[in-house]
Amino acid sequence: MSEERRDAFKLSCDWLSIQEVVDTVSSTSCGALSVFIGTTREDEVEGRKVIGLEYEAYESMAQSQFSRLCADIRDHWPSVIHICVHHRLGWVKVGDASVVMAISSPHRRDSQEAIQHCITQLKANIPIWKKEVYDTQEASWRENSECSWSSHSKLQQEHKNAE
């Protein structure tokens, strides 16, 4: 029994529905549905408390990169049936979900490994940027350490090359 695979990606300024993401990847042919929910955490940066994040995206490029990510996931885990990622844009207060993703497959190992790969690659390659907003009303754009263009990533690569 063959099922047409679904890849769904949504950028939204609205609250994210975990149930909508789960429903998008549900399948009677799958015994595993792995979910990742990334929330905005309360953090302290240089003595300032983070009260929320503001997200922006280059939407058409984000969709294109998501299609590439799905192809990459299917190359590594051919049994993956459905992939769904919803990411917030705009203001996200502490405690709210910034990203919800789910992947279904017949067996749990593939969906679990694929979901880990998905969040790592999303942070590294999808053009979504976040600005931390602090209790002082100051704000600062932050880079994901996974991004190939980030200074953190460059430092890690320099360390590997020195070894």
What's the pLDDT score for residue 153?
A: 45
Other C-beta atoms lying within 10 Å of the C-beta of residue 110: 22
Residues 98, 18: contact at Cβ < 8 Å? no
**108 annotated as a binding-site residue:** yes
pLDDT band at 146 (very low <50, low <70, confident <90, very high): low
Q: What is the pTM of this model?
A: 0.86
**130 annotated as a binding-site residue:** yes
What's the pLDDT score for residue 142?
A: 81
- Give me the percent of the chain exceeding a pLDDT of 90: 79
* Rg of the chain on CA atoms, in Å: 17
Distance CA 160, CA 115 (A): 26
**54 annotated as a binding-site residue:** no
Residue in this structure with the two tokens 């917030």, named with its chain if needed: 88
Provide CATH code, domain 6-162. 3.90.1170.40
Which one-letter amino acid corresponds to residue 159? H
Residue range 3-10: mean pLDDT, rounded: 94
Residues 103, 115: contact at Cβ < 8 Å? yes
Residues 113, 121: contact at Cβ < 8 Å? no
Distance CA 92, CA 73 (A): 28
**Bridge partners of residue 85, in order along the sequence:** 9, 101
What's the pLDDT score for residue 148?
A: 61
pLDDT band at 13 (very low <50, low <70, confident <90, very high): very high
Distance CA 28, CA 77 (A): 19
| pLDDT, mean over the chain | 90
Provide the terminal-to-terminal Cα distance of the chain, rounded to the nearest Å: 50
What's the pLDDT score for residue 2?
A: 64
**131 annotated as a binding-site residue:** yes
